[in-house]
Amino acid sequence: MALFSVAVVAAAAVTAAAQPSASIRYLVEFRGGTDIAVTISLPEPVGRPTQFVMPRAIPMGYGSHPYDRFVVGLTARDRDGRPIDLIDLEGPRWTIRSGPDRPLGTITYRVNLERMERMILSAGDASRVRPDFIGLLGYAIFGFVEGLQDHPIDLEVRVPPGWPIVTTLMPTVEATGATRARAANFYALADAQIMGGPGLAQRRVASGVPLLVASYSEGPLDLAALVSLADTALRQAAAWFGSTPFPHFTVSLEALRPVSPDHQYQFSMEHLESATFRYQAGQVDVSPAGRTRLHYNLLHHLAHAWIPKRCAPAGYYPFVWDYSAPIEMIWFSEGWAQYAAADMLALGTPDPAATRRRLTARRFEEAGADTLPPIGGLSTAALSAISAHQYSDDFRLAQTTFARGGLMADAIDRRIRERTGGRKNFRDVVHALLAWCATATTPVTVETLVTAARGATGVEVGDLIEQWLVPRGRSAPGRPRP
Ligand SMILES: [Zn+2]
């Protein structure tokens, strides 16, 4: 829940009266150097004070980054081009002193990408620019006018003439110099990525769900092997989930020379219709030994396009952009989705049951058994709430949270297989859950999971879920107050 100032409430009231179908126009321009320029043009001028917001939290990023600090030269203007006063607030917001005599028409700013990449140590969370490449994450460069988040958006991107340019909103379009796309709302725009430049390699596979593999590598990369693996993973995920809720999918991969020894290059990120993978140059391993790991990583992030992107517990929607909101069911979003990925991978092997067992042991059992304080002794909901803003800062928290969910999914799968004589399994539960999510207006709860399992398989799993939610391991001993 977010606290809104009086000015924001006023802006929301104005929005309610505005036409909800009118598109906001976002223009991104890159002409070389370290900055991009962004212009936001409103369809209807806002005649009251309002706020401009840059994200600090990333959907499913379980952490925060101060993207507002890389904004340079923020300017608000009325429709005649006259500047409107701005007040820089605490947090990633500015009050815009628009009014009936000076209604807000456009917002312009630049984003310093070089500074962003230098200051954000996790490579997957920063946008970047090179002499031959530009890679932009929507949430790192786009802000919104409070109250207008649900308006559709027309995006235009302009880059130097001759530069290939693509956005994950419209990856089937092969454009140079400029491209356009449409986003359903600010969330979809922020969730998308833009990539361009002569250094960008694009490979499209059109035989199934249209797939784009867009990569930029500062070292050797076996692109053909990567494309083949991504195509296989996409087909497996679509088959496993029994649906394709996206019209196309993009795998965006950057293999980079480290900016500094402190920068990290191992986190990947899921999106509505894409996934971004960041590696250190030369470390995308498609050898027989490394192939399984990369395959699992692809499946894992593909699975997220269903869970939780389209089937989420409380805390994911409506998304809070100012800070990482607490989420108590990351064990479901990560644990269940990862178990799904393990099952998909296992199904492609000669002995699926043995492979599933091996993957479960390797991925979940060790981490799920972390029984020492201060991580042991916590309930899984409490662990999840902490992980919601420190997932990548302390990976023990992440591992323990998703491992408990993964082991829970494994226990559910094994019980269902056993009690139905192998006729039903975990996948049937997920299918029932997705069918529920397709029309539900409320978040997934434990009760939703129990009901989905019962309805799809006739098997009761509430006790197994409960078993993996209660505090596990040893609590820290009580001590007298210092
Ligand atoms: Zn994940």
**What CATH number is attached to the domain comprising 275?**
2.60.40.3650
Domain match, 100 and 248 both: yes
SS3 label, residue 44:
strand
* Distance of CA 199 from the midpoint of ligand 1 (Å): 28
Q: What is the pTM of this model?
A: 0.93
Q: What pLDDT was estimated at residue 369?
A: 65
User: For residue 137, what are its two tokens?
Assistant: 């994450």
* Distance of CA 87 from the midpoint of ligand 1 (Å): 38
* Distance of CA 124 from the midpoint of ligand 1 (Å): 13
* Distance of CA 256 from the midpoint of ligand 1 (Å): 22
* Distance of CA 33 from the midpoint of ligand 1 (Å): 34
Q: How many domains does the chain have?
A: 2
Domain match, 342 and 206 both: no
Report d(CA 87, CA 67) in Å as an integer.
17
Domain match, 251 and 364 both: no
Determine, yes or no, domain membership for 187: yes
Domain C-terminal end among 262, 286, 303: 303
Determine, yes or no, domain membership for 316: no
Residue pLDDT, tens place only, 129-152: 999 999 999 999 999 999 999 999
Determine, yes or no, domain membership for 364: yes
Q: Which of 51, 88, 58 is nearest to 73 (CA)?
A: 88
Residue pLDDT, tens place only, 457-471: 999 999 999 999 999
Residue 9: which pLDDT band, with cuts at 50, 70 and 90?
Answer: very low
Q: Output b/e per residue, 16-32; b: 16+ Cβ within 10 A.
A: eebeeeebbebbbebee
Domain match, 249 and 338 both: no
User: For residue 398, what are its two tokens?
Assistant: 């992440």
Lowest-confidence pick of 10-19, 43-52, 107-116: 10-19
| pLDDT of 99 strictly over 80 | yes
Whether the ω angle into residue 103 lies within 30 degrees of 0, i.e. cis, is no
Domain match, 152 and 292 both: yes
Percent of the chain with pLDDT over 70: 95
Domain hosting residue 100, numbered range: 6-303
* Distance of CA 338 from the midpoint of ligand 1 (Å): 7
Domain match, 240 and 361 both: no
| Average pLDDT score over residue span 255-273 | 95
Residue 389: which pLDDT band, with cuts at 50, 70 and 90?
Answer: very high
Domain match, 299 and 350 both: no
Q: What pLDDT was estimated at residue 477?
A: 78
Domain match, 31 and 151 both: yes
Lowest-confidence pick of 9-18, 144-153, 206-215, 337-346: 9-18
One-character DSSP codes across 244-257: --SS-EEEEEEEE-
* Distance of CA 98 from the midpoint of ligand 1 (Å): 41
* Distance of CA 107 from the midpoint of ligand 1 (Å): 35
* Distance of CA 130 from the midpoint of ligand 1 (Å): 28
Domain match, 413 and 456 both: yes
DSSP, res 336: I
* Distance of CA 127 from the midpoint of ligand 1 (Å): 20
The identity of residue 261, as a single letter, is P
Mean pLDDT of the chain: 93
* Distance of CA 344 from the midpoint of ligand 1 (Å): 15
* Distance of CA 270 from the midpoint of ligand 1 (Å): 7
Domain match, 136 and 282 both: yes
